[in-house]
A and B are shown apart, each in its own frame.
Chain A
Amino acid sequence: MINCFNLSKWYDNLLVLDNISVKIKKGEFLVILGPSGCGKTTLLQSIIGFIKPNSGKVLINGEELKRPDRRFGYVFQDYALFKWKTVLGNVMSGISKVRNKKEIALKIIDKVGLLKFTDKYPHQLSGGMKQRVGLARALAYNPEILLMDEPFGALDAQTRKLMQQELLRILKEFNKTVVFVTHSVVEAVYLADRVIVLSKIPAKILLDEKIKISGHRDYLNKEFLFHREKILKVLDTQTGINE
């Protein structure tokens, strides 16, 4: 479905992405993991076309992308909600030309559990609620691919855990391809079907790991711990400040 082909990106003389190739299958939940500042966001933004890579290309269903389009939903770390719109207005912004937009929007708002806050403005919501709106806005126009850029990075630990569970619950009802960026190993193993670990810049793929956990994903599950250890070991080689 998404095919990244020898992507390289540099800013001035700083090489950020070094010849990265990833194939992402339809319906897959892929987590991109890596030390902070390693180019995870750059990779994600190259997929949607916010950033043009200096070499290589991204193919979506075999076609090259011209500009960001509505096959993508994007969830931002800082929410990037339209502050001048209510929750309903935000969720409807992607479907303004659809006839029963209000109906669709309310359904999604209900799914993310914000039905009581439909007419509130973003500044009246907590961080977790804002990100629910961000997710609802991205899901409202029913994109095939959901890109999430450290969506829970700004939340406190408890809210974060809750939001992870909620994300899986909500996504169960939509069959989406998800690319999720984070630097939390636990979050990655908890959410992913597959994890790729990037090195510090220039970013290369260090590990491409399928996460197989039978039964419930519990932080103390044996297989969970196994995956976590394995990824941590790889990441440990990447600590230290990059020169």
Chain B
Amino acid sequence: MGHEKKNMNKVRFILLLIFICMIFSYSMIFGVFKSDIVVHILRSLLRMLSGYVLALILGVFTAIILNLSKYLSYAFKPLISFLISIPTITWVPLLLIITGISEKTIILTIFLGSYFAILYNTLEGFENIDQNLLKAGKTVGYDNFELFIKVSLPASFNNILVGMKLGIAYSWRALVGAEMLGATSCGLGYLIFASRKFYDMEKMLITLLIIGFLGYLFNIIIIKFIENNTIAKWGYRE
């Protein structure tokens, strides 16, 4: 089984590699992109990073605050759940009016994409902690702060990670959407939208593939990495 899985992983990796090579060799040969593609990619990644990290920190922080009282989290959960259901891209026209055509708009969009998902799932995790674990924490002498850091957080990490995963997907979609809707003149979403004017279908298609590929990389590199070093090791999913 282990051996088979290893071979399978090799096949998966090679398939992906061939696909990536195809994209890039194609775009090289036909000169679809000049070197400015790198600028577009980096710009998009930077926006993603700032919006997402902000959402992660504030999302977990808000969950901690709401979790202070069970009535508070009980009262706010339906609202949060409602806000998750709003497709993030629909915020963009509104934000464009409020914050103008600027980086702020895009980063705010990314933030909104993952904030509620992270908040909701973290809250869910806190609520479902096995009470005996908290009791065990008390008997070994943890104070309230230690109980939170050493018991509540790791015990609910499964849920937090679900929030992070959803958040990354939502944010990435939101980012590209915001870039398309004209909040900028740079970035991958803009690139696709700008190519439309010139009927440059090759550029559109390849940018699209790059967007997909980067989204995929987030999942593999960030989420899988965290997962393997935490909940997979701890046996949360058996």
Contact = CB atoms under 8 A, between A and B. Distances in A.
Interface stretch (B66-74, B182-190, B229-237): B229-237
Given A78-B132, A80-B135, A82-B151, A70 B233 contact: no
B234 A84 contact: yes
Interface stretch (A121-129, A164-172, A187-195): A121-129
A73 B235 contact: no
A80 B133 contact: yes
B215 interface: no
B21 interface: no
Contacts of A76: 132, 135-136
B200 interface: no
B157 A84 contact: yes
A123 to B, nearest CB: 3
B138 interface: yes
Nearest to A137: B140
A50 B135 contact: yes
Given A80-B130, A80-B133, A83-B234, A94 B140 contact: yes
A1 B65 CA distance: 41
A123 B234 contact: yes
B140 A80 contact: no
A123 B136 CA distance: 17
Contacts of A72: 139
Contacts of B36: none
B158 to A, nearest CB: 10
A82 B141 contact: no
A79 to B, nearest CB: 9
Contacts of A138: 139
Most buried by B among A72, A84, A123: A84
Given A94-B141, A137-B140, A121 B130 contact: no
A159 B134 CA distance: 27
B18 to A, nearest CB: 37
Interface in B53-111: none
Contacts of A37: none
Nearest to B140: A94
A93 interface: yes
Interface string B117-150: 0000000000000101101101111100000001
Given A68-B139, A74-B139, A82 B230 contact: no
B141 A69 contact: yes
B4 interface: no
Interface in B188-238: 230, 233-236, 238
20 contacts: A50-B135, A50-B138, A68-B139, A70-B141, A76-B135, A76-B136, A80-B135, A82-B133, A82-B150, A83-B154, A83-B234, A84-B154, A84-B157, A93-B150, A94-B140, A94-B141, A121-B234, A122-B235, A123-B234, A137-B140
Shortest Cβ-Cβ A-B pairs, 6 listed? A123-B235, A94-B140, A80-B132, A84-B154, A80-B136, A74-B139
Given A93-B140, A123-B238, 18 more contacts: A48-B139, A50-B135, A73-B139, A74-B139, A76-B136, A80-B130, A80-B132, A80-B133, A82-B136, A82-B151, A83-B235, A83-B236, A84-B154, A94-B140, A94-B141, A123-B234, A137-B136, A138-B139
Interface of A: 48, 50, 67-70, 72-74, 76, 78, 80-84, 93-94, 121-124, 137-138, 141
Interface of B: 130, 132-133, 135-136, 138-142, 150-151, 154-155, 157, 230, 233-236, 238
